Structure 1
Amino acid sequence: MLVAVDHVQLAAPPGSENRMRDFYVGALGMTEVPKPPSLAANGGCWFRAGDVQVHVGAEADFRPSRKAHPGLRVRGIDAYAARLAARGAPVTWDG
């Protein structure tokens, strides 16, 4: 029986770890989680906020997806949207 999602795996181009940190830590307020040494050499970063984990792997032939995304639930959505906009990540509201 499934009880929860352990983490979401996303992809990014190699060498973009500092941009990942700026967004996931700086804008979203997550904490970086050290990757196991056996995986750290592959690049990418892991992040956590409470029970939510996002793993972003470096992918040599990375191509951004037009629709794939993690759906993150937050408290205080208006304040969170303002935080994102202040960090250069404007929010587009979708009904």
Structure 2
Amino acid sequence: MLIALDHVQLAAPPGAEDALRAYYGGVLGMEEEAKPPALADRGGCWFRSGGIRLHLGVEEDFRPARKAHPGLRVADIDTLAARLAAHGADITWDDALPGHRRFHTHDPVGNRLEILEPYASGG
């Protein structure tokens, strides 16, 4: 009986927490969420914004997700694209999803992210 998506977990290499905090907290404006004490020693960090929860977990043999990705819905996609570009992120616009503006980018450890905003009129 599924009722909601609780969180999405992405992997990160050991020692990447500062870069992840700067990106997800600083650039994307997400709030860092304290990890439970029993999980804190594993490294990584958790973030939230509205109903979005992202967990970044340490993976010793880390390889970034190049195809798999979370789709993050935003308000004011142009402002976010400009902010990401100002921080050196590559932005690849894609108009293949009907009813949406969207682009793909990568976090500082190489995980793929889809950023999308529905058209106000749906078209």
Pair in the same fold by TM > 0.5? yes
Query: Which stretches in structure 2 are left out of the alignment for 5+ residues?
Result: 96-123
Could you state the TM-score of these two structures normalised by the residue count of structure 1? 0.94
Higher relative CO (Cα under 8 Å, sequence separation at least 6) belongs to 1
Pick the structure with more strand per residue.
Answer: 2
Where in structure 2 are the equivalents of 1:46-65 lying within 5 Å? 46-65=46-65
3-state DSSP of counterpart to 2:63: coil
How far apart are 1:83 and its partner, in Å?
1.3
1:2 aligned partner, one-letter code: L
Segments ≥4 residues shifted beyond 4 Å:
none
Alignment correspondent of 1:40: 40
Pick the structure with more helix per residue.
Answer: 1
Bigger Cα Rg: 2
CA separation in 1, counterparts of 2:88 and 2:26? 11
- Indicate whether 1:16 and 2:48 are aligned: no
The size of the alignment, in residue pairs, is 95
Could you state the TM-score of these two structures normalised by the residue count of structure 2? 0.73
Query: Which stretches in structure 1 are left out of the alignment for 5+ residues?
Result: none
